[in-house]
Amino acid sequence: MSFTVQSFCRPLGSVLGAGLIGMAMLLGSTANAQDAKVLRLSFVNVKEHPHGVGAERFAELVSKKSGGKLQVRLYPGGTLGSDMQVISSLQGGTIDLSVMVPGSLAGVSKEFGLFDLPFMFRSATEADAVLDGPFGTKLMDILPGKGLVGLSFWDHGFRNFTNSKKPIATVEDFQGLKVRVQQIPIYIDMMRALGANPVPLSFPELYGALESRAVDGQENPLTSIVGSRLHEAQKFLSITRHTYNPLLVVGSKRSWDKLSEADRKILLEAANEAKPYQRQFSRDAEAKAQAVIEAAGVKVNELAPAEIERMHQKVRPVSDKFAADVNAALVADLRDQIAKARAATSSPRP
């Protein structure tokens, strides 16, 4: 699939290309068949974002594997609510599936907040090794007791800062900035530790808050910044890569329990078959997204390694606080798995 800078900017459809659009139309018509079971999948980013492209591939695989009898209908752009609202709907069985960052589930299970510990991962490769191994399985095993089902870990990416006030080149530059953060406690504390003023907002509210200057800046992977046109309301991008976010494909246990074993197997297989495609698409899109941001006139700077280390030291007490609040054995296991993955991949610090 071609993925040009121009197509990444378009608001609707063109990223997927004519072939996938036609396929989506075909799937939509098939889903209307009387014998088709339709599952609703919600996510907060636009359909053209790597979240949506992965979800589209997942839906395609589900339809193919079930012979059209099981369909996944996509609801992008937060049309069914923010991540927090969708989690409640998943638990209640009114939404069947979603893709979201694991940290969104921290209010349901503290363990999922571990992925938001700043500077935990140095590369996507080592993150993949941890997520696809025993540690990822341990986390998935927690979810049924919370009314949810985990299907697969995909990619969201490393987070970076944008703002409308000034370049962030040193830790001191955070001082006084109003920065939108996810509605997750660790992000609020992280911003305070850096000297910024955190403003918790749902993602669908973010563009309006930036445009109206209710907040000065935000932090997200580059693909989300471009996918929702956040850079159009910002002047500066600072490459910090302070947190790596996986993407979790998660389902409603109530919906899951109503499915046959064959249908459950189809969903699991489709989510994991879509995983390498979605991860590669997401990571390829990151460099293209930075080009889009620069072409729009946003000034881009990369923090020096010494400043990244100063950031790391500033937020270390936040990491220690949240790690101490989770099962100590699980935290130790995570650090052990990261160390093994790092030794195997020899990941340099970005």
| Long-range CB contacts for residues 61-66, cutoff 8 Å, separation at least 24 | 61/269, 61/270, 61/273, 61/274, 62/266, 62/267, 62/270, 63/27, 63/30, 65/266, 65/269, 65/270, 66/263, 66/266
Q: Could you tell me the two tokens for 259?
A: 């499915």
The pLDDT value given to residue 317: 95
**209 and 298 share a domain?**
yes
Any idea what the Cα angle at residue 166 is, between residues 162 and 167, rounded to 5°? 65
Residues 269-301 pLDDT 10s: 999 999 999 999 999 999 899 999 999 999 999
For residue 117, being part of any structural domain is answered with: no
The pLDDT value given to residue 34: 63
Residues 165-190 pLDDT 10s: 999 999 999 999 999 999 889 999 99
Q: What's the sign of the alpha-carbon dihedral 202, 58, 47, 242? A: positive
**195 and 338 share a domain?**
yes
For residue 350, being part of any structural domain is answered with: no
**195 and 321 share a domain?**
yes
HEC sequence for the chain: CCCCHHHHHCCCCHHHHHHHHHHHHHHHHHHCCCCCEEEEEECCCCCCCHHHHHHHHHHHHHHHHHCCCEEEEEECCCCCCCHHHHHHHHHHCCCCEEEECHHHHCCCCHHHHHHHCCCCCCCHHHHHHHHCCHHHHHHHHHHHHHCEEEEEEEEEEECEEEECCCCCCCHHHHCCCEEEECCCHHHHHHHHHHCCEEEECCHHHHHHHHHCCCCCEEEECHHHHHHCCHHHHCCEEEECCCCEEEEEEEEEHHHHHHCCHHHHHHHHHHHHHHHHHHHHHHHHHHHHHHHHHHHCCCEEEECCHHHHHHHHHHHHHHHHHHHHCCCHHHHHHHHHHHHHHHHHHCCCCC
**254 and 105 share a domain?**
yes
Q: How far apart are CA 247 and CA 55, in angstroms?
A: 11
Radius of gyration of the chain (CA): 20
**263 and 327 share a domain?**
no
- Number of structural domains in the chain: 2
**96 and 210 share a domain?**
no
Block residue for tokens 């563009």: 207
**215 and 341 share a domain?**
yes
The pLDDT value given to residue 35: 80
The pLDDT value given to residue 187: 94
Residue 205 structural domain: 160-242+293-345
For residue 122, being part of any structural domain is answered with: no
For residue 121, being part of any structural domain is answered with: no
**176 and 313 share a domain?**
yes
**141 and 274 share a domain?**
yes
**219 and 79 share a domain?**
no
Cβ atoms of residues 75 and 43 within 8 Å: yes
The pLDDT value given to residue 18: 37
For residue 338, being part of any structural domain is answered with: yes
**232 and 100 share a domain?**
no
**95 and 200 share a domain?**
no
For residue 22, being part of any structural domain is answered with: yes
For residue 119, being part of any structural domain is answered with: no
For residue 120, being part of any structural domain is answered with: no
- Positions in the chain whose pLDDT score sits under 50: 1-31, 347, 350
Any idea what the Cα angle at residue 54 is, between residues 86 and 163, rounded to 5°? 70
User: What phi and psi, each to the nearest 5 degrees, are found at residue 106?
Assistant: -60, -30
| Of 130, 153, 158, 133, residue with least CA distance to 143 | 153
Q: Could you tell me the two tokens for 125?
A: 């490769």
Cβ atoms of residues 87 and 80 within 8 Å: no
CATH number, domain containing residue 298: 3.40.190.170
